[in-house]
Chain A
Amino acid sequence: AQKVTQAQTEISVVEKEDVTLDCVYETRDTTYYLFWYKQPPSGELVFLIRRNSFDEQNEISGRYSWNFQKSTSSFNFTITASQVVDSAVYFCALSEATNFNKFYFGSGTKLNVKP
């Protein structure tokens, strides 16, 4: 069974639109970590955020915000006022405390921001 599901394969928006990337996860561990990475066309995955399972506070960093809801096993990522530079593939990942260094990645969501 897929531990991390990113149902949106590809999303296209026009610059300045807000966009939300969905991530649903599955785990039996009570302690786990959730991540978002950005992969621009250059290829290198860039770390965006890590949350642990005990911290359900939403996070905001500039135009980026994350909504962590344990009740729905979701960790969604919103970009406000999107820009062309936000065009990339975004990956959500899960790490469980029982195997701390093993990541389960979602299949990724490709975001196209058009001018």
Chain B
Amino acid sequence: DVKVTQSSRYLVKRTGEKVFLECVQDMDHENMFWYRQDPGLGLRLIYFSYDVKMKEKGDIPEGYSVSREKKERFSLILESASTNQTSMYLCASSLPEDNEQFFGPGTRLTVL
């Protein structure tokens, strides 16, 4: 079974802090994704990585950056957290030739 894990289930940070959300998958998937989920908006893609050190902006990249130094790990970085980044963050992975995405349990981030 594919396993996608995220470093924290719940996180509380202060405005202006630098925040790291970590995602690890154990199935050697090339593709990894970061989404945020907000009520009434579904899931929106923040960033996508199709290989180590490769990244592409999604629909809402502003205020975020990512890092993919190893194939199994994809980090989402909030350089200076703001209250409007309070949300549920979901990581996913997939094979390049198969677009079924496997999701982690999510990190609920609150920025005060």
A residues lining the B interface (CB < 8 Å): 4, 6, 9, 33, 35, 37, 42-47, 50, 91, 93, 95, 100-103, 105-108
B73 to chain A minimum Cβ distance, whole angstroms, is: 18
Smallest CB-CB separation from B44: which chain A residue?
A105
A44–B104 touching, CB < 8 Å: yes
Contact: B43 with A42, CB < 8 Å?
no
Any A CB within 8 A of the CB of B64: no
Chain B interface main SS type: strand
B48 near A101 with CB under 8 A, answer yes
Interface residues of B, Cβ cutoff 8 Å to A:
9, 31, 33, 40-45, 48, 50, 58, 88, 90, 92, 94, 96, 99-106, 108
Of A6, A43, A50, the residue contacting B106 (CB under 8 A) is A43
Could you say which of B45, B92, B99 has the most chain A C-beta atoms within 10 Å of its C-beta?
B99
Nearest CB of chain A from residue B17's CB, rounded to whole Å: 23
A105 and B60 alpha carbons, distance in the complex (Å): 14
Complex: A80 Cα to B105 Cα, angstroms = 27
Contact across chains for B100 and A102 when beta carbons are under 8 A apart: no
A103 lies within 8 A of B45 (CB): yes
Residues of A within 8 A of B99 (CB): 33, 50, 95, 100-101, 103
Given contacts A101-B31, A101-B94, contact A47 B40 (CB under 8 A): no
